[in-house]
Amino acid sequence: MKSLTVELNGATVRYEVEPRQTLADFLREQCRLTATHIGCEHGACGACTVVVNGKATRSCLRLAIMCNGQSVETLEGFPNDKIMEVLRRHFHESHALQCGFCTPGMLIMARDILLRLAEPDAQTVRQQLSGQICRCTGYANIVDAIVSAGKALRSQRAALP
């Protein structure tokens, strides 16, 4: 066992972990943060996407111990995040939710896209989401939700004094 200390969703936590335990398994099994879904376990589907030190990261490809001393954010860590608030609203309004399995990873990735690209168009969103799999084929509505969220965020920024 190895000692692991991380800033998880804004709180410092300490656990003992197996050296080969993935970050995804650590988050789900030890921390009980079940929004992080495990799909392919090969980094291809994006269901396990979380934020490590500010970057969207596949948690199935990273060992938990690799995050020692780092910041990790899961979907549960964004209850008051303005970008996530707008994204959740637009996912709802655009009917971008189907079975919901991909949704946590999609929302994390969508937030990452909007942090990097102020107002992406549909083609850019599709390219940026290329590593996220939705088996229900909800891509059209997901893309619409992200594009409209980008526009809404731009309007909000423009309205600020």
- In this prediction, residues 90-109 reach a mean pLDDT of 94
- What is the domain partition of the chain in residue ranges? 2-75, 82-159
* pLDDT tens digits along 140-150: 999 999 999 99
Q: What values do phi and psi take at 131, rounded to 5? A: -95, 5
Confidence of residue 27 (pLDDT cuts 50, 70, 90): very high
Sequence-distant (6+) residues with CB within 8 A of 118 are 150, 153, 154
DSSP 3-state of 2: strand
Amino acid at 64: A
Q: Calculate the average pLDDT of the chain.
A: 95
Confidence of residue 24 (pLDDT cuts 50, 70, 90): very high
Range with the lowest mean pLDDT among 8-17, 25-34, 122-131, 132-141?
132-141
Q: Please state which CATH number belongs to domain 2-75.
A: 3.10.20.30
Third-level CATH fold of 82-159: DNA polymerase; domain 1 (1.10.150)
Confidence of residue 135 (pLDDT cuts 50, 70, 90): confident
Give 63's DSSP letter: B
| Residue 106 confidence (pLDDT) above 80 | yes
Confidence of residue 159 (pLDDT cuts 50, 70, 90): low
- Whole-angstrom distance, CA of residue 37 vs CA of residue 41: 10
Strand stretches in the chain, DSSP E = 2-8, 11-17, 49-52, 55-58, 71-73
| Residue 102 confidence (pLDDT) above 60 | yes
